[in-house]
């Protein structure tokens, strides 16, 4: 028997109407936005798959918690609830709240990197690498080669290649490595997980050289679902147990709560390291706010504490990841080239495969994202040459192997009929791909250029 359908483990209590627009209207909107989907107004978007970040639908329990916000400047009871949820579920002793993930990355990078030190990461995330480089660190990609290959069906493409770490130590010495920044369900690789077996090896490797793991735990929960489904010995373990084991290999983590944690804003840094905690607490007051709110209101911390408790329910995570798989399968069936296996938070269209004749310098993924919006009002995001930015040494474009369009699914927001509309739009574009021309960049911000860059059609 094929896998049986799992229905959403919730029913809908409030709805938000969405605007339906015409292709002519959307063509005008896209031109005004400089062919950058980040610059569209949300009101003009029909199905918003720009990101799964902060776009979650909260539960009634979380909304009820919003009324229980203790907005004291210091020592809010909601902070203590948040701390308790993180202690119990993540297993870390100390918590420093921040307004979102990148603030935790800022503090971690500044405190843990000496200029000139390397920070190995399994691929990279834009803000994480930016903060490493701002602190004088050097990014080192230690992900397995399969992660850069859209045709590889490796079940754990997020795995770390220990041989790459060995080579770095042989060349530079262990003291040249600040820490290992390991991300579960690697965003830029297509939401690909690592295995617990690989993590165990990485942790043992780190212990041998005295190099700790600091997770970018943003999508760790989704990684646990794949471990439960794919790795021997985990099928009968609860997500909560797998999650606790996974986190136990880290000295700490930075977290963007806008993803796994089911809230619209928030983040934190958590650790078992006394010295790091002390210094992070000192630093957070300069950049974020007092260490018992770190840029969040009491009510936001309450919703976050409740979101952390809800996220580890097995039915929630199964339904979440299986919706992403559903969209992926629809696209595969339609012949649309995507990164396989399908990741935990998004389906990534392979823009090189979709537009095989377009040179990377004509921004195929950016082009495809713009065309998709004009076709159906579906908003997606470029994850390719624009996102990769320029090499800080040479000033040249980085040319990543992966040139992708990300269709990111918000948690608990859309139904599978929305997914069908998305799949049909991609299929329609595939049939007319010969008429899609590339773009040229006409405005380029110096940092994280993909957010605000502007383009014009080439033809
Ligand atoms: N790490 C990862 C893996 C992320 O995906 C993000 C954000 C961050 C860190 C930064 O967290 O936004 O709370 O400051 N990713 C969003 C996305 C923006 O759309 O993928 P933040």
Nearest to 424 by CA among 358, 370, 376, 355: 376
What is the pLDDT at residue 283?
98
CA angle 119, 124, 130 (to 5 degrees): 70
Q: How many Å apart are CA 131 and CA 123, to the nearest integer?
A: 15
The answer, yes or no, to whether any atom of ligand 1 lies below 6 A from the CB of 367, is no
pLDDT digits (tens, 9 = 90+) for 268-300: 999 999 999 999 999 999 999 999 999 999 999
Nearest to 181 by CA among 149, 138, 222: 138
The answer, yes or no, to whether any atom of ligand 1 lies below 6 A from the CB of 263, is no
Instruction: Measure the CA dihedral 180/183/184/187, to 10°.
Output: -160
The answer, yes or no, to whether any atom of ligand 1 lies below 6 A from the CB of 261, is no
Mean pLDDT, rounded, for 336-343? 95
The answer, yes or no, to whether any atom of ligand 1 lies below 6 A from the CB of 183, is yes
Q: How many Å apart are CA 93 and CA 84, to the nearest integer?
A: 9
Q: How remote is the CA of residue 2 from the centroid of ligand 1, in Å? A: 35
pLDDT surpassing 70 at residue 6:
yes
Q: How remote is the CA of residue 145 from the centroid of ligand 1, in Å? A: 23
Long-range Cβ pairs for the range 438-443 (8 Å, 24+):
438/358, 438/359, 438/362, 438/363, 438/364, 438/367, 439/35, 439/362, 439/363, 439/366, 439/367, 439/370, 440/362, 441/363, 441/386, 442/34, 443/34
CA neighbours within 13 Å on the CB side: how many for 42? 7
Integer CA distances (angstroms), 339 to 123, 144, 230, 348, in order: 15, 15, 18, 6
pLDDT digits (tens, 9 = 90+) for 137-171: 999 999 999 999 988 999 999 999 999 999 999 99
Q: How remote is the CA of residue 4 from the centroid of ligand 1, in Å? A: 33
What is the pLDDT at residue 5?
84
The answer, yes or no, to whether any atom of ligand 1 lies below 6 A from the CB of 48, is no
Q: Can you tell me whether residue 446 is helix, strand or coil?
A: coil
Our measurement of the distance from residue 430's CA atom to the centroid of its chain's CA atoms, rounded to an integer in Å, reads 27
Backbone φ, ψ for residue 377 (5° rounding): 80, 15
The answer, yes or no, to whether any atom of ligand 1 lies below 6 A from the CB of 124, is no
pLDDT surpassing 80 at residue 459:
no
- DSSP H or E stretch at residue 77: helix 77-89
Q: How remote is the CA of residue 261 from the centroid of ligand 1, in Å? A: 12
Q: How remote is the CA of residue 434 from the centroid of ligand 1, in Å? A: 34
- DSSP H or E stretch at residue 368: helix 364-376
Tokens of 366: 């950016």
Integer CA distances (angstroms), 38 to 184, 387, 409, 419, in order: 25, 12, 16, 21
Which of 183, 186, 254, 256 to probe ligand 1 with, by most ligand atoms within 8 A of CB?
256
Mark out the alpha helices in 210-313 (DSSP H runs): 220-230, 239-248, 274-287, 298-311
- Domains identified in the chain and CATH numbers: 23-52+314-457 (3.90.1150.10), 60-311 (3.40.640.10)
**Whether residue 341 has a cis bond before it, omega within 30° of 0:** yes
Report which of residues 304 and 3 the model is more confident about. Answer: 304
**Per-residue pLDDT band at 389 (split at 50, 70, 90):** very high
Report which of residues 190 and 284 the model is more confident about. Answer: 284
Our measurement of the distance from residue 144's CA atom to the centroid of its chain's CA atoms, rounded to an integer in Å, reads 19
**Per-residue pLDDT band at 1 (split at 50, 70, 90):** low
Q: How remote is the CA of residue 100 from the centroid of ligand 1, in Å? A: 9
| Residue 355 DSSP label | S
**What sign results for the dihedral spanned by CA atoms 324, 325, 326, 329?**
positive
pLDDT surpassing 80 at residue 118:
yes
Give percent helix, percent strand, percent coil of the chain, each to the nearest 5. 45, 15, 40
Tokens of 115: 């200029």
The average confidence (pLDDT) of the chain is 96
Which of 50, 55, 187 to probe ligand 1 with, by most ligand atoms within 8 A of CB?
187
What is the pLDDT at residue 392?
84
Mean pLDDT, rounded, for 332-344? 96
Q: In percent, how much of the chain has pLDDT > 70?
A: 100
Which of 186, 215, 217, 218 to probe ligand 1 with, by most ligand atoms within 8 A of CB?
218
Mean pLDDT, rounded, for 32-49? 98
The residues annotated with a catalytic role in the active site are 73, 125-126, 216, 259, 383, 450
Q: How remote is the CA of residue 315 from the centroid of ligand 1, in Å? A: 24
The answer, yes or no, to whether any atom of ligand 1 lies below 6 A from the CB of 101, is yes
Which of 55, 97, 127, 194 to probe ligand 1 with, by most ligand atoms within 8 A of CB?
127
| Residue 218 DSSP label | T
pLDDT digits (tens, 9 = 90+) for 206-264: 999 999 999 999 999 999 999 999 999 999 999 999 999 999 999 999 999 999 999 99
Integer CA distances (angstroms), 289 to 74, 85, 99, 250, in order: 10, 21, 9, 26
The answer, yes or no, to whether any atom of ligand 1 lies below 6 A from the CB of 94, is no
For tokens 């005004």, the residue is: 32
**What sign results for the dihedral spanned by CA atoms 250, 251, 256, 260?**
positive
């Amino acid at each position: 028997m094929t896998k049986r359908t799992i229905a959403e483990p919730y029913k809908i209590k409030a709805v938000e109407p969405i605007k339906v627009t015409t292709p002519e209207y959307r063509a005008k909107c896209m031109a005004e936005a400089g062919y950058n989907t980040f610059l569209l107004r949300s009101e003009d978007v029909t199905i918003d798959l720009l990101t799964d970040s902060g776009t979650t639908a909260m539960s009634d329990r979380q909304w009820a918690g919003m009324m229980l916000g203790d907005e004291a400047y210091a020592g809010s009871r909601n902070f203590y609830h948040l701390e308790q949820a993180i202690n119990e579920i993540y297993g870390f002793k100390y918590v420093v709240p921040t307004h979102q993930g990148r603030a935790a990355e800022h503090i971690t990078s500044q405190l843990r990197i000496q200029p000139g030190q390397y920070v190995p990461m399994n691929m990279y995330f834009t803000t994480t690498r930016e903060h490493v480089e701002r602190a004088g660190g050097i990014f080192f990609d230690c992900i397995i080669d399969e992660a850069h290959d859209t045709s590889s069906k490796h079940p754990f493409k997020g795995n770390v290649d220990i041989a790459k770490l060995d080579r770095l130590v042989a060349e530079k010495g262990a003291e040249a490595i600040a820490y290992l920044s390991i991300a579960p369900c690697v965003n830029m690789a297509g939401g690909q997980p690592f295995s617990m077996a690989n993590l165990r090896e990485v942790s043992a490797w780190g212990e041998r050289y005295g190099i700790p793991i600091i997770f970018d735990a943003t999508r760790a929960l989704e990684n646990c679902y794949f471990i439960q489904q794919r790795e021997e010995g985990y099928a009968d373990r609860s997500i909560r147990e797998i999650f606790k084991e996974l986190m136990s290999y880290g000295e700490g983590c930075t977290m963007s709560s806008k993803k796994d944690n089911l809230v619209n804003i928030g983040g934190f840094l958590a650790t078992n390291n006394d010295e790091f905690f002390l210094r992070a607490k000192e630093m957070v007051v300069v950049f974020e706010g007092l260490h018992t709110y770190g840029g969040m209101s009491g009510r936001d911390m309450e919703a976050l504490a409740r979101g952390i408790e809800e996220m580890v329910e097995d039915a929630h995570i199964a339904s979440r990841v299986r919706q992403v798989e559903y969209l992926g399968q629809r696209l595969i069936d339609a012949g649309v080239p995507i990164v396989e296996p399908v990741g935990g938070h998004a389906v990534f269209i392979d823009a090189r495969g979709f537009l095989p004749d377009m040179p990377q310098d004509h921004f195929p993924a950016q082009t495809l994202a713009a065309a998709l919006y004009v076709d159906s009002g579906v908003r997606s995001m470029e994850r390719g040459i624009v996102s990769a930015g320029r090499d800080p040494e040479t000033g040249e474009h980085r040319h990543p192997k992966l040139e992708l369009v990300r269709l990111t699914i918000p948690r608990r927001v859309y139904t599978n009929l929305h997914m069908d509309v998305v799949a049909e739009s991609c299929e329609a574009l595939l049939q007319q791909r010969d008429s899609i021309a590339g773009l040229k960049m006409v405005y380029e911000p110096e940092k994280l250029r993909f957010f605000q860059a502007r383009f014009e059609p080439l033809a």
